[in-house]
Amino acid sequence: MLAFLKKWYQAYREEKGARLHAEVEAERNVLCDKPILKDSEAINALHDVSCGASVKKEVLDWMAAASQAMEDERNRERYY
């Protein structure tokens, strides 16, 4: 009986591994089927980096507002 269970468990693990591998392969094929970013889009994104100062300012303002919101009612700063 123990030998049967060992063989069954080994077959189960191999089948489960093959099934999981097939699922991962299918997901990879869906994701890698077409290019995510075209060359022209990458070049345009690099040119737009110089326009990032306004975005950086907005992010810094948001971070300052978030840190203010994280202070509790006794005006003690939290550690996170």
Tens digits of residue pLDDT in 33-56: 766 666 677 667 666 666 667 666
Torsion sign over Cα 70, 72, 78, 80:
negative
Kindly state the DSSP code that residue 34 receives in the 8-state scheme. S
User: Whole-prediction pTM value?
Assistant: 0.36
Instruction: Give the pLDDT score at 79.
Output: 54
At 67, is the secondary structure helix, strand, or coil? helix
Single out the residue of 66, 59, 60, 62 nearest to residue 80, CA to CA. 66
Q: pLDDT confidence of 76, banded at 50, 70, 90?
A: low
Residue 7 reports pLDDT greater than 80? yes
